[in-house]
């Protein structure tokens, strides 16, 4: 009987020690420090813009740890692009590291700026940009994308950069312009037309272009022909280049001169009018 009681009380003591030791173990686990880490997040991982524009990403740094740390920041982008990091304010500063305090309910925000050089017009497509934050063995990375879309820019300009010319009524008068593609993609099906005074003839050679690649240009000869009886003076005409993806126009002032024959005819008419007036005056004077 004693042996049974002894075994019973030993079992009770064993169960009690196990129950008491479990809360202590759990408490010890809760008091142990958590894993140190840093997370990089952003609301927009992809930004879109035309070729030649810049891209600015806002990134939030969330640090979990037991003590403050200084993190080195490295941003990389496409070859020849300008890529740097700034604080949220002031944006004029460029930074290479940042000190982060643990236990904050909100992260620290920074900006990643990326832009191609002014002389480079990147082709349409997606370009990778990355940001890395490192402190010892703690490391966080975020990948961003700059999406470049085509830029269409058709430009019409006189070859001699003069927006005026002279023309003789009833004659062919030649003027030259340049159609240039200053965008980042090919412009297709470019036709040429004009807005002109009634009765005028404006001819283009060539009168259309099947395509004009980015950075290329084409000289266009323009024949301006006012009607023979056009009164001498200044007139405005508009030359128009209209492509599938873009268009442009330019105004030029045309100073019309009469032909020598026309001038002599005008002089003759004036002489006849004067002679007629003289005859009439003399007849009335005799009476």
Q: What is the pLDDT along the chain (287 residues), one digit of tens a residue?
A: 555 455 555 555 554 554 444 443 333 333 345 689 999 999 999 999 998 899 999 999 999 998 999 999 999 999 999 999 999 888 889 999 999 998 888 899 999 999 998 777 888 899 999 999 999 999 999 999 999 999 999 999 999 889 999 999 999 999 999 999 999 899 999 999 999 999 999 999 999 999 999 999 999 999 999 999 999 999 999 999 999 999 999 999 999 987 655 554 555 566 666 766 665 666 666 55
The structure's pTM equals 0.65
Question: What is the C-alpha R_g of the chain?
Answer: 42
144 vs 200: CA distance, rounded Å: 57
CA distance 139 to 76: 16
Q: Sign (positive/negative) of CA torsion 222, 225, 231, 236? A: negative
CB atoms within 10 A of CB 47: 17
Structural domains of the chain ordered from first start = 37-149 (2.60.40.10), 154-259 (2.60.40.10)
Neighbours of 11 (CB within 10 A): 10
């Amino acid at each position: 009987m004693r042996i049974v009681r002894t075994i019973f009380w030993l079992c009770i003591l064993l169960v009690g020690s196990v129950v008491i030791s479990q809360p202590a173990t759990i408490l010890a686990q809760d008091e142990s420090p958590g894993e140190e880490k840093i997370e990089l997040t952003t609301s927009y991982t992809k930004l879109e813009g035309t070729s030649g524009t810049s891209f600015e990403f806002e990134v939030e740094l969330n640090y979990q740890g037991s003590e403050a740390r200084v993190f080195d920041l490295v941003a990389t982008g496409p070859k020849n692009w300008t890529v740097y990091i700034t604080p949220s304010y002031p944006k004029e500063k460029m930074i290479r590291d940042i000190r982060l305090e643990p236990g904050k309910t909100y992260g620290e925000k920074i900006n990643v700026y990326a832009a191609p050089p002014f002389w480079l017009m990147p082709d349409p497509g997606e370009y990778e940009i990355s940001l890395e934050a490192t402190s010892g063995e703690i490391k966080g990375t975020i990948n961003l994308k700059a999406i470049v879309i085509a830029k269409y820019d058709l430009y019409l300009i006189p070859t001699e950069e003069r927006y005026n010319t002279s023309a003789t009524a009833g004659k062919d008068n030649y003027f030259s312009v340049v159609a240039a593609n200053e965008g980042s993609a090919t412009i297709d099906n470019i036709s040429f037309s004009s807005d002109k005074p009634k009765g005028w003839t404006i001819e283009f050679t060539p009168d259309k272009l099947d395509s004009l690649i980015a950075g290329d240009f084409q000289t266009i000869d323009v024949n301006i022909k006012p009607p023979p009886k056009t009164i001498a003076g200044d007139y405005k005409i508009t030359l128009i280049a209209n492509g599938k993806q873009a268009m442009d126009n330019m105004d030029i002032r045309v100073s019309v001169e009469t032909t020598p024959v026309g001038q002599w005819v005008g002089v003759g008419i004036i002489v006849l009018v004067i002679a007629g007036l003289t005859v009439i005056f003399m007849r009335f004077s005799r009476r």
